[in-house]
């Protein structure tokens, strides 16, 4: 894509509050077709809210959004406020996958995938089934097409959820921590599916705690902090900036981290920094309280999970 062409998605001055809680403050973002943008940041920093604003599952209080042929002005009373018909069309071209896969339990895998193409894209049943079977083949689950979701592992259900979103032929895919609820041994199959979609040129925005994945697969990383977008840049740059700032010298020279407020403790993904090379994730440490020494909670090797 040339630098002169318009981005696929353009957001300006986006604001979203819940009551007194100002979750998103003047967020701006351009995403070009084919880009993979990872959003990292502590729990509560607004990652999910931001993704939900993009397909207007949450209505922002103000802001401007351009996506494909849509141009929305979210200010109250604005003439370009989205209509319900526009929202229906918008949501048909933005696919979203959540942490909880939300498959319809009373439908087979195949029925889950053909449902929206039949109802929303108004495909003929034969074509919807052909496309769904091709997608299930694509995510490695063709053999499971006549099973009910409860018979599948979490990783398989999540891959079905991805196939179901892809069945709408979206121009943009949003992934909200899609591996967070999975057992560790199932994370890799979902991440490698997402990496292959990225390789095929799918435009993707994903909130993730998988830093190795963010670093290795994304074209850019956004860091949300204190409810503003604190950084936006190439993976190495954003991760490195965050490194120096958060725990200078805390666990030794080779170490710096990324914070996640999970399990009521702060988790730092810890990188080693050798001779200016890109940081490599070497472990996850927990700081039980601010001044206590860190406790290793798990270790990963470089590239693990990607």
Q: How far is the CB of 48 from Mg ion (least distance, A)?
A: 3
CB-based contacts of 223, cutoff 8 Å, min separation 6: 39, 40, 41, 229, 230, 231, 232, 238, 241, 242
Q: How far is the CB of 177 from Mg ion (least distance, A)?
A: 6
Closer residue to ligand ADP, CB minimum distance, 49 or 203: 49
Query: What DSSP assignment string belongs to 223-261?
Result: EEETTEEEEEE-HHHHHHHHHHHHSTTTT-TTEEEEEEE
Q: Is 46 in the site for ligand ADP (CB under 6 A)?
A: yes
Indicate which single residue of 14, 35, 36, 47 sits in contact with ligand ADP (rule: CB under 6 A). Answer: 47
Q: Is 208 in the site for Mg ion (CB under 5 A)?
A: no
Q: Is 48 in the site for Mg ion (CB under 5 A)?
A: yes
Q: Are 140 and 159 in contact (CB under 8 A)?
A: yes
Q: Judged by CB under 6 A, how many residues of this single chain contact ligand ADP?
A: 11
Q: How far is the CB of 17 from ligand ADP (least distance, A)?
A: 9
Closer residue to ligand ADP, CB minimum distance, 58 or 68: 58
- 61 secondary structure, DSSP code: S
Q: Is 49 in the site for ligand ADP (CB under 6 A)?
A: yes
Q: How far is the CB of 99 from Mg ion (least distance, A)?
A: 7
Q: Judged by CB under 5 A, how many residues of this single chain contact Mg ion?
A: 2
Among 160, 198, 200, 194, smallest CA distance to 177 is for: 194
Q: Is 43 in the site for ligand ADP (CB under 6 A)?
A: yes
- Residues 23-42, one symbol each (x = binds ligand ADP by CB under 6 A, - = not), give x-----------------x-
Q: Are 104 and 111 in contact (CB under 8 A)?
A: yes
Q: Sign of the C-alpha dihedral, residues 146, 124, 198, 40?
A: negative
Query: What DSSP assignment string belongs to 121-177?
Result: S---HHHHHHHHHHHHHHTT-GGGTTS-GGGS-HHHHHHHHHHHHHTT--SEEEEES
The binder of 49, among ligand ADP, Mg ion, none, by C-beta within 5 to 8 A per type, is: ligand ADP
Closer residue to Mg ion, CB minimum distance, 32 or 45: 45
Lay out the sheet containing 94-97: strands in order across. 94-97, 172-176, 204-207, 36-41, 220-225, 228-233
The binder of 144, among Mg ion, ligand ADP, none, by C-beta within 5 to 8 A per type, is: none
Q: Is 44 in the site for ligand ADP (CB under 6 A)?
A: yes
* Interface ranges with ligand ADP (CB under 6 A): 18, 21, 23, 41, 43-49
Site residues, Mg ion (CB under 5 A):
47-48
């Amino acid at each position: 894509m040339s630098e002169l062409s318009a981005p696929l998605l353009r957001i300006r001055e986006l604001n979203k509050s819940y009551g007194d809680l100002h979750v998103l403050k003047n967020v701006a973002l351009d995403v070009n077709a084919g880009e993979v943008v990872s959003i990292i940041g502590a729990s509560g920093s607004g990652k999910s809210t931001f993704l939900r604003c993009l397909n207007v599952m949450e209505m922002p209080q103000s802001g401007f959004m351009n996506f494909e042929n849509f141009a929305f002005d979210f200010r109250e009373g604005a003439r370009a406020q989205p209509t319900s018909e526009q929202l229906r069309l918008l949501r048909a071209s933005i696919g979203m996958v959540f942490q909880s896969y939300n498959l319809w339990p009373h439908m087979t895998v195949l029925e889950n995938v053909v449902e929206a193409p039949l109802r929303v894209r108004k495909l003929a049943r034969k074509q919807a089934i052909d496309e769904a079977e091709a997608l299930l083949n694509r995510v490695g689950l063709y053999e499971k097409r006549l099973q009910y979701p409860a018979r599948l592992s979490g990783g398989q259900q999540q891959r079905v959820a991805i196939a179901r979103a892809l069945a709408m032929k979206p121009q943009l895919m949003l992934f909200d921590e899609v591996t967070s609820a999975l057992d560790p041994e199932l994370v890799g199959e979902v991440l490698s599916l997402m990496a292959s979609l990225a390789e095929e040129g799918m435009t993707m925005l994903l909130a993730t705690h998988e830093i190795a994945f963010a670093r290795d697969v994304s074209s850019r990383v956004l860091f949300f902090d204190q409810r503003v977008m604190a950084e936006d840049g190439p993976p190495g740059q954003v991760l490195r900036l965050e490194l120096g700032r958060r725990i200078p010298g805390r666990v030794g020279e080779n170490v710096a981290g990324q914070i996640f407020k999970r399990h009521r403790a702060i988790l730092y993904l810890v990188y080693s920094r050798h001779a200016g090379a890109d940081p490599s994730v070497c472990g996850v440490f927990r700081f039980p309280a601010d001044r206590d020494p860190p406790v290793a909670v798990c270790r990963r090797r470089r590239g693990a999970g990607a």
